[in-house]
Amino acid sequence: MAEHKFNRFNFKPFINMAIEELRFQEPTEIQEKMMPLILKGESAIGQSQTGTGKTHAYLLPMLEAINPDLQQVQGVITAPTRELANQIYHEILKITKHEEPNRISARCYIGGTDKQRDIGKLKQQPHIVVGTPGRINDLVREQALFVHTAEMLVVDEADLMLDMGFLQDVDQIAGKMPKDLQILVFSATIPEKLKPFLKKYMENPKFEHVQPKQISAENIEHILVPLRSREKVAVLSEMLQAYNPYLAIVFVNTKQMADKVADQLIERGLKVGRIHGDLSPRDRKKMMKQIRDLEYQYIVATDLAARGIDIEGVSHIINFELPRDLDFYIHRSGRTARAGNKGLAVTIYEPADEDSLVRLEKMGIEFSYLDLQKGNWVEVTDRNRRKNRTKTINEAEIKARKFVRKPAKVKPGYKKKMEAEREQIKKRERRLNSRNKNQKK
């Protein structure tokens, strides 16, 4: 077996085989910090941005801890979206397939599926439960799923869980679990409103915060394209066709805007998928399959896709609208440039976006300025160029301002009179300067 830097964790052979197949060479920073704590059985909070490898930071130690001879629930993983729960479940299957004989069982329980069928399959309890908090809580209340035997609870994307209103379900699930439960919380941010939950269930947890080395991955280029007085969907359509991306996600802020933009792009002849909260579970599942099968080159999405869904092969991120919460700019752009690839994050901007752009620059984002003119990308001037231009004041202007000042008592028309006097002084100074130059010749 190939040597890799996970060997020091002494994982079981099937986990090491999976690591080799997944081509993990060395632990990411969040894995390096969290895995030793988890393997010791400690509760911990891991704060890191999306795309830093946190899923495997808890999956590998959890699978190491499972005792396949005990046919009972030993680990519960909650995720805020159905897509993310499904992703985590499939990552588990990628690892457990190397176990011979395959004895660790995992099940995924999410909303939008047949609950009675889920209940029917729970005659034998799985070792690991993955799912959305609402469905897991339903199955616990129905006394079909027994979480009181679990020794480990993972709350993934905890801040998004809070935003979507699922923390109450997580609270109820945790309340049915043992008092000495090992809780692992992973989150991009730790909002104040999350802290009461953490305090309730976690006594002196270890806290590991992975600061992004840069606010955004260095292989993402951030580009601003001015809207000027053009029609926005027309600019977007022209951009998408000029880029001809492997796969582009166009981000908007609302479901209504997602449908509007997608419909207008389709009218212009583009084949466009869409992901937002109004899609039925069946439609979302179908859409994700079509995206994975590369049936779409363009996807219009709300921020649900920025956090809850991992779509492989995204080469371009287009911000049709900047997010209201600017942290989501980082989550959006983090959908591209995965696994060492390069990516583009492009924003169509207008004057109303100025405050947001200034804040993003203060966060460390460096923008390039391009525009699409007659189908070609051309560099355009920095939007701050005029604002930052320093006015050169010549000596004549300085003298005119010095000798003609606003009078203590002003009368109607005083401004015109001041300007006239200043103009006379400037003319006199220019004549003197000109005469001096001629004398020197």
Q: Does the fold of domain 220-387 match that of domain 7-209?
A: yes
For residues 48 and 209, the answer to whether their CB atoms sit within 8 Å is: yes
Domain residue extents for the chain: 7-209, 220-387, 395-440
Tokens of residue 381, six digits: 């001037």
What is the number of other CB atoms lying within 10 angstroms of the CB of residue 111?
16
Cα 41 to Cα 91: distance, rounded to the nearest angstrom: 22
pLDDT for the residue numbered 434 = 66
Q: How far is CA 273 from the centre of its chain?
A: 20
> From edge to edge, which strands make up the β-sheet containing 206-209?
106-109, 128-131, 75-78, 152-155, 182-187, 44-47, 206-209
Decide if domain 7-209 falls under CATH 3.40.50.300.
yes
Distance CA 352, CA 383 (A): 13
**Which residue is listed with tokens 């099940």?**
107
Confidence (pLDDT) at 2? 47
Cβ–Cβ < 8 Å for 275, 247: no
Each residue's pLDDT tens digit, 194-208? 889 898 888 888 999
Determine how many CB atoms are found less than 10 A away from the CB of residue 119. 16
Q: How confident is the model at residue 277 (pLDDT cuts 50, 70, 90)?
A: confident
* Secondary structure element (H or E) that encloses residue 134, with its range: helix 133-141
Q: Give the number of other CB atoms < 10 A from CB of residue 353.
A: 18
pLDDT in tens, 360-380: 887 788 999 999 988 889 999
* Whole-number Å distance between alpha carbons of 379 and 225: 10
pLDDT digits (tens, 9 = 90+) for 130-168: 999 999 999 999 999 999 999 999 999 898 888 788 999
CA dist., res. 246 & res. 96, Å (int): 31
Question: pLDDT band at residue 389, thresholds of 50, 70 and 90?
Answer: very low
Distance CA 255, CA 122 (A): 36
If one compares 336 and 74, the residue with the highest pLDDT of the two is 74
Least confident range of 36-45, 172-181, 322-331: 322-331
Candidates 66, 146, 148, 140; CA nearest to 106 is 66
Question: Which whole number is the average pLDDT over 338-345?
Answer: 80
CB 166 within 8 A of CB 124: no
DSSP alpha helix (H) spans, 213-254: 232-243
The angle at the Cα of 207, spanning 201 to 213, to the nearest 5 degrees, equals 140
**What are the pLDDT digits (tens) for 407-441?**
656 566 666 776 777 777 777 777 776 666 555 55
pLDDT of res. 104 = 96
* Residue 264, CB-side half-sphere exposure with 13 Å CA sphere: 16
pLDDT tens for each residue of 297-327: 999 999 876 666 678 889 999 999 998 877 7
Residue 79, strand partner residues: none
Report helix, strand and coil shares of the chain as percent, to nearest 5.
Answer: 45, 15, 40
What contacts 51, CB < 8 A, 6 or more positions away? 217, 334, 338
* CA distance readout (Å), 245 to 186, 298, 304: 32, 8, 22
Per the structure block, which two tokens stand in for 238?
């022209």
Count of Cβ atoms closer than 10 Å to residue 367 Cβ: 18
Are the CB atoms for 53 and 31 separated by under 8 Å? yes
Distance CA 239, CA 377 (A): 9
The CATH superfamily assigned to 220-387 is P-loop containing nucleotide triphosphate hydrolases (3.40.50.300)
Q: Quick one: pLDDT band at residue 48, thresholds 50, 70, 90?
A: confident
The whole-angstrom distance between residue 180's C-alpha and the CA centroid of its chain comes to 33
The confidence score (pLDDT) of residue 112 equals 82
Residues 299, 251: Cα–Cα separation, whole Å: 8
Which bin fits 136, alpha (ψ -120 to 50), beta or left (φ > 0)? alpha
Handedness of CA 186, 187, 188, 194 (dihedral sign): negative
